[in-house]
């Protein structure tokens, strides 16, 4: 007897899912990159938080149409394959497995290691803690999914506590005499030259929205409630991000926030004193731990799916489950890749790499909505993106701007990193050909 998803999610459950998926570690750490890019000025940074939020809302509304119309396990990899063909689908999964998930996990682990070592007061422990947290969470994710689910629940609660406390007490105890809207940028900084880099930095804090459409099949009324959940949930997140950045600036000026790897912890120390600041930092660390766990929970499922599809060499290894019924081998591989990336120690570089890689494929997904409308007008769409084609075009334009800017106009270092990401992604094609030959040989051996 086949099981079907139960349609029991209402608007409230969908809203909380959206908020829980998106709020992560970026809001605590990214202000440093933002105000470094603006030359220590607050104005353009605050505008960028709003613009990135609008792009994210348009992106979520657009991608949800495909998620609802193609309710298959595998997420974006499946959508891309359905629209552009098998090879593009494989490239999507490959990019997520070797770039997006490992780079994101590594970035969060780098920040976890740095903040933990600072909390302990021993900077020599940064690398051991960074690698140790990846190893620990990788091992936990080879156990039952109940364990990782419990971690997620605890972390979700803990990540809201520092946000709420900093917002409330930031405005109560902060001086409020620091500039917030001006100047736009500092001396010698061009607005046009940094806006793309600002967006790619901030979009890391907004990431997670692609998973929102996955709940469409479990909603009582997706056509009506899904857009409400996306617009409502992401608008709430955007407001929270803007308000907490105002709270940061209420306490410390932008040029000082640019000097702290964890601006949230620095602000907390000013508000609550050294001990209070440490308690808030501990709450942030639990939140980051939960973020890492979330990515190490979902990432290996993509690699496992590639193995199941016989799309990469060694597919039998990646496409197998362990005794706990989870993709243990895939989890270990993602964990090892993450640890290697983490050795760079570069939080912002790693997040920029992961955002460039994933947004390249997000844009393909947005374009796919328009392509599917033209190719399959009769396709059952439980939810349709509102204000079509305006909203998809906003998502496409925003995504293209970020990707092209990062590739061509963000400086030689970013260009080299981005081209490296493109090269690593394209390696998936010859590997797919090798896997196909292995699969054919295995099939021939079975027949023989």
Residue 230: pLDDT band (50, 70, 90) is: confident
Instruction: Sort 276 into a burial class: Cβ within 10 Å, 0-12 / 13-18 / 19+.
Output: middle
> Does residue 148 carry a pLDDT above 80?
no
Question: 32-67 pLDDT, tens per residue?
Answer: 999 999 999 999 999 999 999 999 999 999 988 888
pLDDT of res. 193: 86
Closest C-alpha to 169, from 279, 80, 85: 279
> Does residue 411 carry a pLDDT above 50?
yes
For residue 80, give both structure tokens.
């891309």
pLDDT of res. 216: 64
pLDDT of res. 3: 45
In terms of average pLDDT, the best of 42-51, 232-241, 284-293 is 42-51
Distances from the Cα of 350 to the Cα of 340, 344, 400, angstroms = 12, 9, 20
For residue 155, give both structure tokens.
């972390």
The pLDDT > 70 percentage for the chain reads: 95
Residue 212: pLDDT band (50, 70, 90) is: low
**191-206 and 347-375 are packed helices; what angle lies between their axes, rounded to 10 degrees?**
80
The pLDDT > 90 percentage for the chain reads: 61
DSSP 8-state symbol, 425 = H
| Rounded Cα–Cα distance for residues 354 and 362 (Å) | 12
Residue 1: pLDDT band (50, 70, 90) is: very low
Overall average pLDDT of the 216-224 stretch: 72
Closest C-alpha to 103, from 308, 284, 388, 341: 341
Residue 404: pLDDT band (50, 70, 90) is: very high
Residue 158: pLDDT band (50, 70, 90) is: confident
DSSP output for 135-191: HHHHHHTTS-HHHHHHHHHHHHHHHHHHHHHHHHHHHHHS---S-SS--SS-TT--H
pLDDT of res. 441: 84
Domains of the chain: 11-440 (1.20.1740.10)
| Stronger pLDDT, 11 or 255, i.e. the higher one | 255
pLDDT of res. 53: 94
HSE-up (13 A, CA, CB side) for residue 198: 30
Angle (CA) 173 115 25, round 5°: 75
pLDDT of res. 6: 60
Report the sign of the C-alpha dihedral through residues 82, 83, 84, 88, in that order.
negative
Summary mean pLDDT of the chain:
89
Residue 220: pLDDT band (50, 70, 90) is: confident
| Rounded Cα–Cα distance for residues 60 and 57 (Å) | 5
| Rounded Cα–Cα distance for residues 32 and 210 (Å) | 25
Residue 323: pLDDT band (50, 70, 90) is: confident
- List Cβ neighbours of 139 (8 Å cut-off, separation of 6 or more): none
User: Are 217 and 67 within 8 A, CB to CB?
Assistant: no
| Rounded Cα–Cα distance for residues 40 and 185 (Å) | 7
DSSP 8-state symbol, 411 = -
């Amino acid at each position: 007897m086949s099981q079907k998803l139960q349609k029991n999610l209402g608007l409230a459950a969908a809203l909380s899912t959206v908020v829980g998926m998106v709020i992560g570690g970026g809001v605590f750490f990214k202000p440093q990159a933002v105000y470094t890019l603006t030359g220590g000025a607050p104005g353009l940074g605050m505008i960028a938080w709003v613009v990135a939020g609008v792009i994210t809302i348009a992106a979520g509304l657009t991608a949800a149409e495909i998620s609802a119309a193609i309710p298959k396990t595998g997420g974006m990899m499946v959508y891309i394959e359905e629209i552009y063909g098998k090879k593009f689908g494989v490239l999507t999964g490959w990019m997520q497995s070797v770039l997006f998930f490992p780079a994101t996990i590594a970035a969060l682990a780098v920040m976890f290691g740095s903040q933990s070592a600072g909390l302990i007061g021993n900077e020599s422990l940064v690398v051991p803690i960074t690698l140790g947290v990846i190893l620990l969470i990788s091992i936990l994710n080879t156990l039952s999914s109940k364990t990782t689910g419990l971690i997620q629940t605890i972390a979700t609660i803990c990540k809201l506590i520092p946000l709420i406390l900093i917002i409330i007490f930031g405005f109560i105890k902060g001086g409020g005499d620091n500039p917030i809207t001006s100047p736009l940028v500092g001396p010698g900084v061009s607005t046009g030259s940094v806006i793309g880099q600002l967006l790619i930095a901030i979009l890391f804090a907004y990431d997670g929205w692609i998973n929102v459409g996955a709940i469409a099949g479990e909603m009582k009324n997706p056509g009506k409630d899904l857009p409400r959940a996306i617009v409502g949930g992401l608008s709430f997140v955007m407001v929270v991000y803007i308000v907490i950045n105002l709270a940061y600036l209420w306490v410390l000026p932008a040029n000082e926030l640019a000097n702290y790897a964890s601006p949230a912890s620095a602000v907390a120390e000013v508000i609550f004193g050294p001990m209070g600041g440490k308690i808030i930092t501990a709450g942030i660390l639990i939140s980051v731990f939960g973020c890492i766990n979330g990515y190490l929970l979902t990432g290996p499922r993509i690699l496992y799916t590639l193995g199941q599809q016989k799309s990469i060499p060694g597919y039998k290894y990646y496409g197998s489950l362990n005794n706990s019924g989870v993709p243990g081998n895939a989890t270990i591989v993602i964990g090892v890749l993450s640890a290697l990336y983490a050795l760079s120690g570069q939080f912002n570089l790693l997040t920029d790499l992961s955002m460039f890689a994933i947004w390249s494929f997000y844009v393909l997904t947005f374009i796919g909505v328009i392509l599917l409308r033209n190719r399959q007008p009769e396709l059952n769409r439980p939810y349709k993106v509102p204000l079509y084609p305006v909203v998809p075009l906003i998502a496409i334009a925003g995504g293209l701007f970020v990707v092209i800017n990062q590739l061509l106009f963000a400086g030689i270092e970013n260009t080299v990193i981005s081209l490296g990401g493109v090269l690593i992604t394209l390696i998936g094609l010859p590997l797919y050909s090798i896997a196909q030959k292995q699969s054919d040989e295995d099939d021939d051996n079975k027949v023989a």
